[in-house]
Structure 1
Amino acid sequence: MAGGEPTPVPPGEGAVPLEECGRLLRSWSGWVSLDWDRAWYPGTVPVPLRATGSWFERWCPPA
């Protein structure tokens, strides 16, 4: 976060507790939406969606 403004960073490099979020996701039975922040932060270095997909595959609830 620079100057109090949130700045998107690659998964695992920010302040979001991804391990805790993943554990919560495993017990979730509703919809999950993953968004692409580049549309709202055009100056941000593009982060491959592959990293987010890998996180989701690791933690997604079994079908």
Structure 2
Amino acid sequence: MTVFEMAKRYYPRLWGTERIDALVAAGRLTEAERALIIPAVSDSDTSGADSGGGGQDAE
């Protein structure tokens, strides 16, 4: 099993983004492989994440 295959299998259940980034920094994964494992989140995908009310700060 390659490092890429392991990363795909274990992210995010066992390995976080920090582990994936460490593998990229060590040269074990490429940036392209990282992008396949951790898809980029566009601004439109995150715009609704924090809105919605009901939080502690919304008084």
Q: Which structure has the highest helix share of the two?
A: 2
**Structure index of larger Rg:** 2
* TM-score, with length taken from structure 1: 0.30
Q: Which has the higher contact order (CA 8 A, sep 6+)?
A: 1
* TM-score, with length taken from structure 2: 0.31
